[in-house]
Amino acid sequence: MDSSKRSNPILATKKSTIKRERIIGIDLGTTNSLVSYMHDDHPAIIANKTTGKRSLSSVVYFDDSFKPHVGLNLDQATVPISSNRFIYSIKRLMGRAFADAKNEQHYLSYAISESESERICKVEISNGNETRFFTPIEISSMILSELKQWAEAYFEEPVEKAVITVPAYFNDSQRTATKMAGKLAGLNVIRIINEPTAASLAYGLDRTKDGTIVIYDFGGGTFDVSILKLDNGIFEVLATNGNTHLGGDDINNALLTMILSNIKQTYNIDLNTKIPSHRNILAELKTAIEQAKKDLSQQETTQIIFTLSTETEKKKIMFDLDRTTLNQIALPFIEQTKAACLQALSDAEIKTTDITAVALVGGVTRMPLVKKYVTEIFDGLIPHDELNPDEAVALGAGIQAGVLSGQTDDVLLLDVTPLTLSIETVGGVVAPLIRRNSKIPIKAMQEFTTSMDNQTGVTIHVVQGEREFVTDNRSLAKFTLKPIPPMPAGLPRILVTFMLDQNGTLSVFAKDKHTGIEQHVEVNPTYGLKDEEVEAMLLAGFENAETDVENRLFAEAKSEAQSVHLAISKSLTLNQNIFLTLSTDEQTRILEAQKN
């Protein structure tokens, strides 16, 4: 690939004179967020007009009057950053139930609690006299609103449309929560795209040859790997894989655990409590750890400096940290990315020798250890790092915004669906309509019939997952097509249509071809699905494939036998006179066959 232009994406410094529909691209990140657009034929990061900063910290601080302050400069002495009102990593809580998200509390310096519905979590903010609650959607909308203001200040006109990126493994609940946050911020989110997909656009700009590329995205909150094929100017996503619960935050938390253990041994203070002052120390520690990790990407040693407050005194603590220690802590997390990479290769049905380029995305990829490890995974292929890894996703979002606004039309991206979409059939067996890794948008149709006589309705049960039986997959929606004319089993013709759009929204239609009666449902998210359950679907599908197929064959044979039995019984009832003309031996054999 020709990276001579990609390596230096321009910083927006003046407005374009060409009037087009204004669409911005937003990378709503776990630790930092960015906004971009297409400047002529290149993506550009929109900097803050006052400070010149290219990225916004994905943090919200609530002051004593509960006024939110977004992306505050952590070096400002007047800002009490060591506070349980300093909200960070909110992306980890998006679209998640409290039962799932409560496990994060140990690593958060702010409190989370159940909402009134007991389905989603809320962030608990207290100023000492009053306590208020905010959803992750509301807090994310504050970050998006700030980025919207950056863009409006730059363009000197309102901005109402946006493309927002999400991790590839975000489930329906999380994607919808992101859309809702955008809407709350005054943005019409016209496209939700996967972060690796956006990064592929950024690294594919000004490409000059075909090839197969791996996008290795190791960010603050998620890890994603995508395999893309470049063919005569067309991007095609061959496969995606990853882990929604693996990122730089996990390395930070491991460092935090080590330091907390050191504090307990040295000072006999256990900070793993809910004491407010301890939460303050944790917040300060997280900030210092993140900075130390960045420092060690450029140097061999650094210090983590923070204030340890007790009831009687305040101590300034300096904790020495070197790159070797950081590597030892980070390596187990980095090693977890290998399985996802190999699985993506398997899904794409290619070998490492087929890969022509690897591109790095996400702040963790600055670590020399990561670059070395990725090189080893892909048989010595040195990864591309021409782009600022923190900006690649935002630049890709800007390109996609340019495509949707009609500013550029030389990029075609074919995305894929990460999990199979099916409906339930007789015996609890699934019938896949849209297979995993199918290119989207996609439309699939299949005809079904009834399994019992005189049915006046048919239940359509939509599921998601890789297993052969409904009970082992995730239920998405269930509705009934009725009324349909009562007929013998097998005669009704029910056409089921799945339409999966670019945003991952599934519309399901069921139509009785005899009467034209039709029912439709758009799959809505179900809050409370654990991220780990989504990730486990793929692994469970592979681990149980052989057993599932055997059980499926048995279930299908059983259903077929039951159908034959029913047909024999009906025939005996309808043809009793003929049956009576048979010999006793023939009648006995028929009845025995029916019985068995």
Kindly report the CATH number assigned to the domain that includes residue 354.
3.30.420.40
Split into its structural domains, the chain has a count of 4
Please tell me whether residues 231 and 374 are part of one structural domain.
yes
- When pLDDT is cut at 50, 70 and 90, the band that residue 525 belongs to is very low
Segment (H or E) for 224: strand 223-231
- When pLDDT is cut at 50, 70 and 90, the band that residue 117 belongs to is low
In the block, residue with structure tokens 């489930």: 171
pLDDT for res 76: 45
Q: Is the pLDDT of residue 492 over 80?
A: yes
Please tell me whether residues 54 and 157 are part of one structural domain.
yes
What's the token pair of residue 457? 């309705």
CB 136 within 8 A of CB 123: yes
Strands (E), 41-187: 42-45, 56-57, 60-62, 68-70, 86-87, 111-114, 121-126, 131-134, 161-166
Nearest-10 Cα torsion for 437, 440, 442, 447: 20
Average pLDDT over residues 488-512: 87
9/117: higher pLDDT: 117
What are the residues facing 302 on neighbouring strands?
321
Q: Is the pLDDT of residue 4 over 50?
A: no
Please tell me whether residues 224 and 308 are part of one structural domain.
no
Q: How far apart are CA 373 and CA 439, in angstroms?
A: 30
What's the token pair of residue 431? 């019938």
- Strand-by-strand arrangement of the 518-522 sheet: 442-448, 494-500, 506-512, 518-522
> Could you tell me the CATH number of the domain that includes residue 536?
2.60.34.10
Q: Is the pLDDT of residue 116 over 90?
A: no
Please name the residues in contact with 504: beta carbons below 8 A apart, sequence gap of 6 or more. 172, 175, 192, 417, 440
CB 290 within 8 A of CB 31: yes
pLDDT for res 569: 66
| CB-side neighbour CA atoms (13 Å) of 163 | 27
In the block, residue with structure tokens 């064959």: 553
Last residue of a domain, one of 301, 327, 353: 327
Please tell me whether residues 320 and 375 are part of one structural domain.
no
pLDDT for res 206: 42
Q: Which of 488, 489, 481 is nearest to 520 (CA)?
A: 481
Average pLDDT over residues 104-132: 80
Please tell me whether residues 345 and 394 are part of one structural domain.
yes
Of the candidate ranges 17-26, 252-261, 372-381, the one whose mean pLDDT is the lowest: 17-26
In the block, residue with structure tokens 């790159």: 323
Please tell me whether residues 193 and 259 are part of one structural domain.
no
Q: Which of 75-89, 354-368, 476-490 has the highest mean pLDDT?
A: 354-368
Please tell me whether residues 30 and 149 are part of one structural domain.
yes
Would residue 441 count as lying in a domain? yes
Q: How far apart are CA 78 and CA 316, in angstroms?
A: 19
Of the candidate ranges 138-147, 444-453, 571-580, the one whose mean pLDDT is the lowest: 571-580
Q: How far apart are CA 238 and CA 261, in angstroms?
A: 44
- Strand-by-strand arrangement of the 458-464 sheet: 430-434, 421-424, 458-464, 474-481
Q: How far apart are CA 174 and CA 163, in angstroms?
A: 15
Average pLDDT over residues 358-362: 93
Average pLDDT over residues 483-508: 86
Please tell me whether residues 190 and 336 are part of one structural domain.
yes
Last residue of a domain, one of 327, 347, 372: 327
Of the candidate ranges 85-94, 201-210, 255-264, the one whose mean pLDDT is the lowest: 201-210
CB 197 within 8 A of CB 396: yes
Q: Which of 468, 434, 438 is nearest to 541 (CA)?
A: 468
Range of the domain at 525: 421-541
Q: Is the pLDDT of residue 264 over 90?
A: no
pLDDT for res 352: 95
pLDDT for res 527: 38
Tens of pLDDT along 281-301? Answer: 777 888 889 889 989 988 999
pLDDT for res 528: 43
- When pLDDT is cut at 50, 70 and 90, the band that residue 66 belongs to is very high
Write out the catalytic residue numbers. Answer: 27, 91, 195, 217
38/197: higher pLDDT: 38
Q: Is the pLDDT of residue 156 over 70?
A: yes
pLDDT for res 7: 37
Average pLDDT over residues 540-545: 59
CB 181 within 8 A of CB 201: no
Q: Is the pLDDT of residue 9 over 90?
A: no
- When pLDDT is cut at 50, 70 and 90, the band that residue 529 belongs to is very low
Please tell me whether residues 435 and 484 are part of one structural domain.
yes
Tens of pLDDT along 425-445? Answer: 888 889 999 987 777 778 899
What percent of the chain clears pLDDT 70, i.e. is strictly above it? 79
pLDDT for res 526: 37
Of the candidate ranges 6-15, 108-117, 315-324, the one whose mean pLDDT is the lowest: 6-15
| CB-side neighbour CA atoms (13 Å) of 181 | 33
Please tell me whether residues 193 and 85 are part of one structural domain.
yes
Would residue 532 count as lying in a domain? yes
Please tell me the total number of residues recorded for the chain in this structure: 596
C-alpha distances (whole Å) from 69 to each of 78, 130, 219, 250 are: 13, 18, 24, 26
Q: How far apart are CA 468 and CA 251, in angstroms?
A: 37
pLDDT for res 343: 95
Buried b (16+ CB within 10 A) or exposed e, 150-188: bbbebbeeebebbbbbbbbbbbbbbbbbbbbbbebbbbe
Q: How far apart are CA 17 and CA 10, in angstroms?
A: 17
Last residue of a domain, one of 291, 306, 327: 327
Q: Which of 97-111, 147-161, 462-476 has the highest mean pLDDT?
A: 147-161
- When pLDDT is cut at 50, 70 and 90, the band that residue 113 belongs to is confident
Average pLDDT over residues 26-37: 94
Would residue 579 count as lying in a domain? yes
Please tell me whether residues 153 and 216 are part of one structural domain.
yes
pLDDT for res 570: 65
Please tell me whether residues 434 and 403 are part of one structural domain.
no
CB 174 within 8 A of CB 181: no
pLDDT for res 566: 65
Segment (H or E) for 522: strand 518-522
What's the token pair of residue 214? 């791996």
Q: Is the pLDDT of residue 594 over 70?
A: no
CB 199 within 8 A of CB 384: no
Q: How far apart are CA 516 and CA 359, in angstroms?
A: 51
Would residue 411 count as lying in a domain? yes
Q: Is the pLDDT of residue 452 over 50?
A: yes
Of the candidate ranges 145-154, 194-203, 306-315, 480-489, the one whose mean pLDDT is the lowest: 306-315
pLDDT for res 18: 39
pLDDT for res 74: 44
Of the candidate ranges 120-129, 237-246, 266-275, 569-578, the one whose mean pLDDT is the lowest: 569-578
Tens of pLDDT along 570-580? Answer: 666 666 767 67
Strands (E), 251-354: 301-309, 314-322
- 3-class DSSP assignment, residue 282: helix
Q: Is the pLDDT of residue 63 over 70?
A: yes
502/497: higher pLDDT: 497
Would residue 15 count as lying in a domain? no
Please state, rounded to an integer, the average pLDDT across all residues of the chain: 82
- When pLDDT is cut at 50, 70 and 90, the band that residue 539 belongs to is low
Please name the residues in contact with 546: beta carbons below 8 A apart, sequence gap of 6 or more. none
For residue 513, the Cα-to-chain-centroid distance in whole angstroms is 37
Q: Is the pLDDT of residue 417 over 80?
A: no
Average pLDDT over residues 201-211: 68
Q: How far apart are CA 566 and CA 454, in angstroms?
A: 13
What percent of the chain clears pLDDT 90, i.e. is strictly above it? 36
Rounded to 5 degrees, what are φ and ψ at 40? 55, -115
Would residue 212 count as lying in a domain? yes
- When pLDDT is cut at 50, 70 and 90, the band that residue 210 belongs to is confident
Would residue 510 count as lying in a domain? yes
> Could you tell me the CATH number of the domain that includes residue 288?
3.90.640.10
Q: Is the pLDDT of residue 43 over 70?
A: yes
Would residue 3 count as lying in a domain? no
Tens of pLDDT along 458-481? Answer: 999 999 888 888 888 888 888 899
